[in-house]
Amino acid sequence: MWYSVICWVGIFTVADPFLTLLFDIIAQDWNGDMFKLYNWFSKTEDSGVVGIYITLFFVLFETSVSGYAYYRFMVHRYMNGRILDLYRRLSGQYKAFFIPLDNEISLKYL
């Protein structure tokens, strides 16, 4: 159960800025988190365009960093690296894996 919880938490972490924007638009909260820089620049400089660019930069930066961290975690650490092992087994050469045909090997050799 915890494996799926960890997986979903990672997905929501990557999607959090977009979900915040969606919820602010649905609630019509124009003073919400995604519109704060726009409102501040609109009040101080009479143009909120700079706030839009800064917000987009931060959102894309946060999404790319959290997406990369989530990818690295899912491939190398999630379920003890089984995804990476599965990829290596599916895309590797046949001779790279030693699987005895008689299935009789000792625990020490294994």
Predicted model pTM: 0.73
Asked, for residue 109, whether it belongs to a domain, the answer is no
Label residue 82 exposed, middle or buried (CB < 10 Å: 0-12, 13-18, 19+). Answer: exposed
Q: How many CB atoms lie within 10 A of CB 67?
A: 14
Q: What is the pLDDT along the chain (110 residues), one digit of tens a residue?
A: 888 898 999 999 999 999 999 999 999 999 999 999 999 999 999 899 999 999 999 999 999 999 999 999 998 888 888 888 888 888 888 777 666 666 666 667 76
Asked, for residue 92, whether it belongs to a domain, the answer is yes
Task: Name the one residue in this structure whose structure tokens are 């602010």.
Answer: 24
Number of domains the chain contains: 1
The residue segments making up the domain with residue 29 are: 2-96
Asked, for residue 45, whether it belongs to a domain, the answer is yes
Asked, for residue 102, whether it belongs to a domain, the answer is no
